[in-house]
Structure 1
Amino acid sequence: MAGRPERRRRSPARRRLRRLQLRLTAAYTLITALGLSCLCWLVIRTDDRSRQASEYDEMRRRASVAASLVYYEEDRLRLDGLQDDEATTGTPQILVLEAPPGGPHAFVFRGRVSRFDVADATAERVARSAMRADDVVRSTGHDRSGDPVYLLAVPFHHDATDAMAGAAVAVGDPERGSAEHRSLILSLAAGGGALTALAGLTGHVLSGRSMRPAWQALEQQERLLADAAHELRTPVAVMRGSVEVAEGGAGGLGVHLPRIRRAADRMADVVENLLTRGQLDAAVDSVRPTPLRLDQLVEEVCADLPDGGHRLELCLEESVVEADAGLVRVAVRNLLDNAARHGRTPGAPGGADLLVSVLGPSVSVADRGPGVEPGRLPELMERFRSPGGGTGIGLSLVHRVATVHRGSLTVRARPGGGAVFVLRLAPGRSRRRRAGGRGGVRARR
């Protein structure tokens, strides 16, 4: 059981797909980060413009109020309305420039709170621009300490002559609302980072799930190739060695033909097992259940058991199941092959002592070998973990066949010594017991 995670980590297919998954995750995260960055930039830019527009709106309101409070009485400029109005208190700061036609110009009023020390030339430039345009003019500049300021001028006219008489200048603070703006930037940065991380994690999980079929397919292919190389190596070596010995020996090839034939039969079984395993792994029209006489199929498989001095006893009950005949045949043959290999009585000469039974949808194969603990069955069904020289592919395939037929593979101790492997298929229709039965002892050489 411990071998599978290690092999999976070392699988070239999994490593390639893992790198592809990481690339997809990085691409998804990068796209998400770029999208969120653009969105955050737009939000920050919009908030900055909104903050600037809000400050200019407040400056325009205050400057307009200040310009409306300026009036003339007998050609004399009156500013008493500016002294107590809230529009001239605090910031934005209000300055009033009088520039009558043909007369000297001068700043005749400054707000009571002078936060910004703006040079007269700077404020005058904006005021004269507003007077020339006879409209509101806004601009930017710096105070005497070099700090940036907003400037906005609203012109006013002489009450009697309607001539341009001056302008009210509002000085605004570009840093107003900057704390909230910085807080918004930090919130967007934190939220964007969290969303990017969440998107990267989600993309990694989704790409992994979407690539899982590809992982499984590539791993199945690699396992099939590994099984083929492992299983075919022994019979090929036997055939090659027999041919080499026959070429150099005096007896000729005929003496070695039985051994070559057994190796060829073994190779044919291996190829069929591998093809069946590949068919089940692909899961493409792999199971074609039809009504099947399970007892007859088991009897045919037992009749094809190679001679090896085995003692075989059959106890068969008529049984009809819904199953794939080809897959069940392979499963039963693998159970018999496993029992023939490992079912010899310890210390006894000859072949294995086997008892094959069919009862309803179950096929039991009992032997007189050293036995198997029931808890070790999952280990025996692992590839390359079967004791006694086997690979475990046979029992693993039997388990797969049982699973696709909604059945199971179990093992228990046989009374008197040995093990009993039970292949149970999906419940089917059982018929009456054969008259006289086909059971009985059938001796094998």
Structure 2
Amino acid sequence: MSERTMKHSSRSAADRSRRLRWWPTALFTAINTIGLSVLGWLLIDQDAQRREERLDAELLRVTSVVLRLVQYDGTLNTTFVNRDEINTQCPQFAILPGEAARFSGHVSQRTCVPVDPATLAGLAELGVRSGYRLHSYERGTGDELVRVGVEPFRSTDGQFIGAIVAVADATGQEDGHDRMILLVIGGVVLLAAAGGLAGHLLSGRVTRPVVAALEQQEVLLADTAHDLRTPVAGLRALAETAQANPDQHADLMARAVDLAARMGTIIDGLLMRARLAAGVEQLAIQPVWLDQLVTTVVEETPTGDAQVTVTVAATKVNADPGLVQRAVGNLLDNALRHGRRPDAPAVVHITVAGGRVMVADHGPGIDASVARESFDRFSSSGGSSGLGLSIVRWVAQAHGGTLRVYNAEEGGAIFELVLPAAES
């Protein structure tokens, strides 16, 4: 198997689900960007048209006024044009002949933006030939952008003989349009980024339940495999021993039954945890006398040659009695198994008071490096698999409580389960 395949197979389903959120994020961002880009293009195009219409309206005002003032009776009469204030204002204009007419043209007194006369003459001839009002963008002698409006006019016999050419400086409009383009592009980029972030957050919220469910499944499978490994190996060793020593069948069978019972308890606890985590079952929270519950658990647990003492004070908590009973049983079972010195019976002391259950043993204690880690899974120097304690911690968290573990000064480990107290 290649290194790439090994890395791919090592990824958990939860990790792959987390990566899947990037696909809807990318899709949402792409769609959002395309939509915003189209909208931005429409805004830019509309702005260009509006600015162009504003210039054309100003040019039309000039050519219309001049057209009413100019007179032609074989010669061009600009007397009224010279007297009107439009002759000294911007936009500037020129009255120019077409190809068929021969008269001296007229140029307004004020030059707002310099334009090559040949360019204006060519536009005038084009307007006369077409007979329609024309508009176009041209460049001034200083490379300025100008907007030109051409209004052809007729002689008394109805022939187009000349045109009024008005010129407006379009530099300001061009600069304003460029700023509009930059503003729209910046807005599209910001909105696309914000949309991508929102899509990422939303996709994360959508996939979070799936990822959580997969993580719970993976933890459940890992816990099951971890804790069943030891009893399964024990059963196999017992079977091989029984096969090799038929005279020991009776003793080996009893030990096999104990291992099978332990495996059943492990599986029941994990299934209960999985059903509660999946929401199939709900916590049956009710007021519970914690001291009575712990005493009952101790009385019903076979302790063998171990020495177990219980000190209780009346205390009531809000809890699911079945789960708390299992958690206390796991703490007691852990202490009985691992809370002993070599070749000595276990010594366990349980204290119940103030919504707390403290289980202290005289074993080798908890490894300091493990105690500093998360309590998802505990290990003791006595060789505990730790799954039972992991379930205890989970029960504590499900009730809004805590589970603490530390070593006593005189030796041994102390596990402290704290549950929310009930109102009196």
Q: After superposition, what is the alpha-carbon deviation per residue over 1:78-135, rounded to whole angstroms, capped at 9, x for unaligned?
A: 21343475644586552324579xx8444522345451332635422313544xxxxx
Post-superposition CA distance 1:294-343 (Å, at most 9, x none): 34432332234345531122334455544212101110011112212331
Does the 8 Å contact 2:359/2:415 carry over to 1?
A: yes
Give the equivalent residue in structure 2 for 1:108.
105
> Which residue does 1:80 correspond to in 2?
79
Instruction: After superposing the two structures, state which structure 1 stretch, 161-170 or 349-358, moved more.
Output: 161-170
Cα distance in 2, alignment partners of residues 378 and 285 from structure 1: 33
1:236 and 2:235 correspond? no
SS of the counterpart of 2:21? Answer: helix
Q: Are residues 1:155 and 2:153 paired?
A: yes
The Cα shift of 1:225 comes to 0.7
For the residue of structure 1 that corresponds to 2:420, the secondary structure is: coil
Q: Partners of 2:160 and 2:259 in 1: how far apart?
A: 117
Moved more, 275-284 or 240-249: 275-284
Query: What letter matches 2:37 in structure 1?
Result: S
Q: Distance in 1 between matches of 2:254 and 2:423?
A: 42
CA shift for structure 1 position 375? 10
1:25 is displaced (CA, Å) by 1.4
Do residues 250 (structure 1) and 276 (structure 2) align? no
Relative distance call for 1:125 and 1:141 in structure 2 (3 A) is: farther
Say yes or no: does 1:365 pair with 2:359. yes
Matches for 1:76-225 after TM superposition, within 5 Å: 76-83=75-82, 87-88=86-87, 92-97=91-96, 104-106=101-103, 108-111=105-108, 113=111, 114-116=114-116, 117-118=118-119, 120-130=121-131, 137-140=133-136, 150-155=148-153, 166-171=162-167, 177-225=173-221
Alpha-carbon contact 1:409-1:422 (below 8 Å) kept: yes
Q: 1:286 to 1:391 in 2, by over 3 A?
A: farther
Higher mean C-alpha displacement, 54-63 vs 174-183: 174-183
Aligned partners of 1:408 and 1:423 also within 8 Å: yes
Q: Conserved in 1, the CA contact under 8 Å of 2:370 and 2:378?
A: no
TM-score of the superposition, structure 1-length normalised?
A: 0.79
1:382 counterpart letter in structure 2: D
Listed as ranges, the matches of 1:324-363 within 5 Å are 324-345=320-341, 347=342, 349-359=343-353, 361-363=355-357
Work out the CA distance in 2 between the residues paired with 1:311 and 1:141.
104
After TM superposition, give the deviation of residue 372 of structure 1 in Å. 4.8
Q: Does structure 1 retain, via aligned residues, the 8 Å contact 2:376–2:393? A: no
**Rounded Cα–Cα distance in structure 2 between residues aligned with 1:144 and 1:356:** 99
Are the equivalent residues in 2 in contact too, given 1:410–1:422 (CA < 8 A)? yes
Are the equivalent residues in 1 in contact too, given 2:291–2:315 (CA < 8 A)?
yes
From 269, 274, 280, the counterpart of 2:270 = 274
Q: Distance in 1 between matches of 2:137 and 2:413?
A: 97
Deviation at 1:219, TM superposition (A): 0.6
CA offsets, 1:376-431, max 9 Å, x none?
Answer: 7563723265554223332232222223333333346557433332323222378x
Long gaps (5+) in structure 2: 1-9
Alpha-carbon deviation of 1:29? 1.3
Q: 1:260 deviation in Å?
A: 0.8
Alpha-carbon distance in 1 for matches of 2:84, 2:195: 55
1:373 to 1:244, Cα distance in 2 relative to 1, 3 A: closer
1:149 Cα offset (Å): 6.0
Residue 373 of structure 2 is aligned to residue 379 of structure 1? yes
Paired residue for 2:13?
A: 13
Change (3 A) 1:239 1:95: same
| Deviation (angstroms), 1:344 | 0.9
Contact 1:127 1:168 in 2 (8 A): no
Alignment of 1:265-344 (within 5 A): 265-317=261-313, 319-344=315-340
Q: CA offset at residue 144 of structure 1? A: 11
For residue 390 of structure 1, give the secondary structure of its aligned residue in structure 2: coil
**Matched letter for residue 66 of structure 1:** V
Question: Structure 2 length normalisation: TM-score?
Answer: 0.82
Secondary structure at the aligned position of 1:351 is classed as coil
Query: How big is the shift at 1:201?
Result: 2.1
Shift of 1:373: 8.7
C-alpha RMSD of matched pairs (Å): 3.5
Q: Which amino acid aligns with 1:368?
A: H
Verify the 8 A CA contact 2:294 2:325 in the aligned structure 1.
yes
Per-residue deviation, residues 198-254 of structure 1 (Å, max 9, x unmatched)? 222232233223322222111111111111111111111111221122123232532
Give the conservation status (yes or no) of the 8 Å contact 1:95–1:107. Answer: no
Q: Which residue of 1 aligns with 2:70?
A: 70
The number of residues matched between the two structures is 409
Contact 1:373-1:412 at 8 Å conserved across structures: no
- Does the 8 Å contact 2:146/2:168 carry over to 1? no
Whole-angstrom CA distance in 2 between matches of 1:269 and 1:277: 12
For residues 19 and 322 of structure 1, do their structure 2 counterparts lie closer, same or farther at Cα, with a shift above 3 Å needed? closer
